[in-house]
């Protein structure tokens, strides 16, 4: 085995949620003045008193608990886990943005980390000036940047605008330039958080290719967080699976990804939408995603249909109500639009009150892999704005391309299977 370049020993990180201090000098002085006069603390929350059990639970959160691993030279390691599992926190500790509460991390060589694209970019400066500034923020010397400048500009693909202030860049160009800088850092270890999700499909591919080159070609060590299971499988030799701040599993990338996809984590029920308070006469109370057999989940494979269940509450007898559904992809491009009148949903239309449930099902093999955002509008044919609501991108689900590598090679917005009919052969 080659030598280890990064070792984490019993690493834990605790965050404190509600801080004891009110964070205000005026409040603290006022509190002191009340206490001096024997009065009650004016800032104590109602119900907080002596309730130690609930207090203890709410004040601290272990974002990471006793993490142990070691990474060897030249490895490409994918870190997976659902939102809140502690992936970003782990990377923050490695890149020294924050300190571990307990434990030790030992590193050999320099770490370049990309937790967010374009940190420290200044809108007034040109692309070229920002390359220098951003490179220096990420720890490069000016000489190094100078040496890599042409390569960075070429990779970013924004040569034509390199002397234009970046405030005029599109968000895509911005991301390209920022990733280009980080990818060309001269470091032994490259750490990348879930940042590529913002670029377009082609650029994502380019970035993944670059990371592959960094690890396989240059023998540098790469650690990256991604929800793109196909990328993890194809790029990484190893994956670390995190769950609730602990390291659940660590091993061969394919095996770990399969375990992750088949497990509870793909359900991630926190992504459901729930709204119990609204002054509107008609409003969306609940929305969830389900698979074909009605199990709530938010990560689907391309071979599964996606079912979306909306529960609408009608507090007064409004007539002519219908739902208008829009599905957008990660670039917020609307790719699907439909309204409930198409299906003919009689009851919500009438003047009955109560909760109404509507279900739509997006068939399997329509959506390509990626993240999708659900928007819904509750409309009334009477066009009364007081009664209707529009909720944009309030819920998201992911389609993963784990089973079909073909999907990842296609660039189209939809990735459907069409019925290719054989129209016969003609003798010539």
Partner 1 sequence: MKEQEYSQDNWDLVIRSKTHWLSLNLRELWRYRDLLMLLVKRDYKASFKQTILGPIWFFIQPLLTSSVYAVIFGRIANISTDGNPRLLFYMAGVIMWNYFSTCLTATSATFVTNANIFGKVYFPRLIMPFSVVISNLLRFSVQFLFFFGVLIYYMMKPDYTVHLTWAVILTPLFLVIMALLGLSMGLIVSSLTTKYRDLAHLVGFGVQLMMYATPVVYPASFLQGKWKTILELNPMTSVIEGFRFAFMGSGEFNPMSLFYSIGVTLVLLFISVILFNKVEKGFMDTV
319 binds, among partner 1, Mg ion, ligand ADP, none (CB under 5 to 8 A by kind): none
Q: Which residue of 34, 69, 72, 139 would you call a contact of partner 1, by CB under 8 A?
A: 139
Residue 358 in contact with Mg ion, rule: CB under 5 A: no
CB of 126 or CB of 249, closer to partner 1: 126
State yes or no: residue 88 binds Mg ion (CB under 5 A). Answer: yes
Cβ closest to ligand ADP, residue 92 vs residue 176: 92
Instruction: Give the number of residues in contact with Mg ion, rule: CB under 5 A.
Output: 1
User: Is 109 one of the binding residues for partner 1 (CB under 8 A)?
Assistant: yes
Nearer to partner 1, 61 or 386 (CB): 61
Our CB check for Mg ion shows the closer of 229 and 323 to be 229
Contacts of 5 (CB under 8 A, 6+ apart): 71, 72, 73, 107, 108, 109, 188, 189, 221
Per CB under 8 A, contacts with partner 1 among 165-204 are 165
- Burial class, 29, CB count within 10 angstroms (exposed 0-12 / middle 13-18 / buried 19+): exposed
Answer yes or no whether residue 409 interacts with partner 1 by CB under 8 A.
no
Q: What is the CA radius of gyration of the chain?
A: 26
Shortest Cβ 91–ligand ADP spacing (Å): 8
Q: Beta strand 306-314 with 354-362: parallel, antiparallel or unpaired?
A: antiparallel
Query: Any contact of residue 18 with partner 1 (CB under 8 A)?
Result: no
- Strand pairing class (282-290; 299-301): unpaired
- Cα–Cα distance for residue pair 249/258, rounded to 1 Å: 12
The residue among 11 and 208 lying less far from partner 1, judged by its C-beta, is: 11
CA distance 66 to 64: 7
DSSP string, 152-214: HHHHHT-GGGTTSBGGGS-HHHHHHHHHHHHHT---SEEEE-S-GGGS-HHHHHHHHHHHHII
Positions in the binding site for ligand ADP (CB under 6 A): 15, 17, 61, 63, 81, 83-89
Give, for 379, the enclosing helix (H) or strand (E): strand 370-380
Question: Measuring CA to CA, which residue among 113, 106, 186 is closest to residue 148?
Answer: 186
Query: Counting contacts by CB under 8 A, is residue 319 touching partner 1?
Result: no
The nearer residue to Mg ion, 88 or 134, going by C-beta atoms, is 88
Measured from the CB atom, is 79 or 362 closer to ligand ADP? 79
Q: Who contacts 231 (Cβ-Cβ below 8 Å, separation ≥6)?
A: 78, 208, 408
The nearest distance, CB 126 to partner 1, in angstroms, is: 9
Closest contact distance (angstroms) between CB of 226 and partner 1 is 18
- Could you give the C-alpha distances from 359 to 245, 283, 324, 393, in angstroms and in order? 35, 16, 12, 17
Would you count residue 113 as binding Mg ion (CB under 5 A)? no
DSSP 84: T
In the complex, which residues of this chain contact Mg ion (CB under 5 A)? 88
In the complex, which residues of this chain contact partner 1 (CB under 8 A)? 15-16, 19, 21, 23-26, 28, 92-111, 113, 115-116, 119-120, 122, 124-125, 129, 132-133, 136-142, 165
């Amino acid at each position: 085995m080659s030598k280890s370049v990064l070792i984490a020993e019993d690493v834990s990180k605790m965050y404190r949620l509600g801080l004891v201090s009110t964070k205000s000098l005026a409040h603290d002085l006022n509190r002191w003045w009340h206490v001096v006069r024997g009065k009650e603390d004016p800032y104590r929350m109602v119900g907080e008193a002596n309730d130690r059990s609930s207090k203890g639970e709410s004040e601290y959160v272990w974002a990471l608990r006793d993490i142990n691993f070691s990474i060897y030279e030249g490895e490409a390691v994918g870190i997976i886990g659902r939102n809140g599992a502690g992936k970003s926190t782990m990377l923050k500790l490695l890149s020294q943005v924050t300190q571990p509460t307990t434990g030790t991390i030992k590193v050999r060589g320099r770490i370049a980390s990309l937790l967010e694209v374009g940190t420290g970019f200044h809108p007034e400066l040109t692309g070229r000036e920002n390359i220098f500034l951003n490179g220096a923020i990420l720890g490069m010397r000016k000489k190094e940047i100078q040496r890599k400048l042409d390569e960075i500009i070429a990779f970013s693909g924004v040569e034509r605008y390199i002397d234009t202030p970046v405030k005029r860049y599109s968000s895509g160009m911005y991301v390209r330039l920022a990733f280009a800088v980080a990818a060309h850092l001269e470091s032994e270890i490259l750490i990348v958080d879930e940042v590529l999700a913002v670029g377009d499909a082609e650029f994502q591919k380019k970035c993944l290719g670059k990371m592959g080159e960094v690890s396989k070609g240059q023998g540098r060590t790469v650690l990256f967080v991604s929800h793109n299971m196909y990328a993890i499988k194809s790029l990484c030799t190893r994956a670390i699976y995190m769950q609730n701040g602990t390291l659940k599993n660590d091993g061969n990338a394919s095996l770990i990804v399969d375990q992750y996809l088949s497990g509870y984590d793909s359900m991630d029920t926190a992504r459901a939408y729930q709204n119990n308070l609204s002054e509107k006469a008609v409003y969306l109370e609940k929305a969830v995603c389900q698979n074909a057999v009605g199990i709530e989940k938010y990560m689907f494979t391309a071979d599964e249909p996606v079912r979306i269940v909306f529960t609408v509450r009608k507090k007064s007898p409004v007539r002519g109500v219908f739902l208008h559904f829009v599905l957008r992809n990660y670039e917020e491009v609307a790719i699907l639009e439909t309204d409930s009148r198409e299906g003919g949903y009689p009851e919500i239309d009438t003047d009955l009150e109560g909760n109404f449930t509507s279900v739509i099902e997006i068939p399997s093999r329509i959506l390509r892999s990626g993240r999708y955002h659900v928007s819904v509008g509750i409309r009334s044919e009477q066009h009364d704005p007081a009664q209707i609501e529009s909720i944009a991108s309030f819920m998201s689900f992911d389609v993963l391309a784990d089973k079909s590598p073909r999907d990842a090679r296609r660039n189209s917005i939809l990735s459907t299977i069409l019925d290719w009919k054989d129209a016969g052969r003609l003798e010539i």
